[in-house]
Chains A and B, each alone.
Chain A
Amino acid sequence: MAPAFVRRWRDGPVSAPGRHGGRHTESVRELTEHLRAAGAEVEGPVPAPGAAAAVVELAAAAPHGAVALGAGEHRLEALGVPEALRAAGRELVRPEAADHPARLAAAAVGLTGAELAVAETGSLVLAAGPGRPRLVHLLPDRHVCVVEVSAVRPTLAEALAEIDPRSASAWQFVSGPSRTSDLEMRAVLGVHGPLSLAVLLVG
């Protein structure tokens, strides 16, 4: 193996996420594989300009009801997702509707953007906060989550190193749709939270 300084010159600085070359591509592949194994649908990676259309398509699997916007809304706006959904004729529910859980529960889709994702455990990391209610991905039947490829970390240790849990009242690691194996130790999807989880990788 080449010495470290040669590798750095060849592969770019190791500290910059998204520029790891091989290792990062491997992480995205691993994340996809682990999420699928847990019962999630995974699309992409798609380039940023195509993201809005892809979200509309993933939301279309649950056509009856509104789309609730949640964690990471600012990212969704940068990608043009809300406009594309409106253009597709979807009714949108603003995050502030968390004050009226019944409105969220009536929505067909909860749409979030992940702060980070963890390949090792197949997890999407969501932070609660202003504009990012916890309920938006819990109450609707379908959870659609947008993940930027640059936000994928290979291991849980690396993701935790970037998180200060004190910065939000809740950090949620979501690794699949709501599931139980209480009945005869066999997996059934969709208990209290969403029946399905769809993940769109962007970048």
Chain B
Amino acid sequence: MAVTHGVHPTVAVLERHLTLYRRLWQASVFSSFVLPVLFLLSIGIGVGGYVGRVQGVDYLSWIVPGVLASTAFQIAVGESTYSVLGDFKWVRAYHAMRATPVGPADMVRGQLLYLVLRVTIAVVAFLVVVVFFGGLHSPWALVTPLVCAVLTVSVSAPVMAFAATIDHDSYFSLLFRFVVIPSTLFAGVFFPVEQLTAVLRPLAYASPLWHAVELCRAATLGTAPSWPVAVHAGYLLAWAAAGFFLAVRAFRRRLED
């Protein structure tokens, strides 16, 4: 019998993603590392020069956690769309896995682990750069990669569920246009949500990104977040749990055809 359970199927799925990434990583360096740094420089220093201080700190320090969390958010969403649909529709990699002991939950978990890894690397690299700009004000900054990891699962999982349900990639442009971009603009990344009219504020509160931004900001500035930490974290975890459930269900249904 050749079957020796040396490696968990989830880890085997993660390995596939890492093997693919080894070939494509150069392309992702710009979007996941260089771009956030450019953002920080142009908006943090450029715009910051006019803005001055926000909530008692210099603008650069204020937007560091925002750009950090939104970088995680962008990678998490971006890597859960075309690649997931493609692995169902064109590559049929999930169908190939389905013929092995790998189950739908392994497929989802393996991909989420991969994304957490991707995001963590990008976030840590960004933090290292930020240290040189004096953008971190508290040792609590060390927990921001963990916050970004949780954020990754809480947005990747539901987006994967969505990608596994649709049949055409044009739905993704709707997702970016009406969910991702507004989230990035109004989730407290560049300005406090208190600036928003009361009508728009609930949109920020609904977005997992805002909760992650709040936690990251509290951590890098060494202040207390707007709401209790447990509420922010609980909200992110609820998205993660619901998203995971929906993604596994969507994968199972799609592979049953």
Are A and B co-members of a single complex?
no
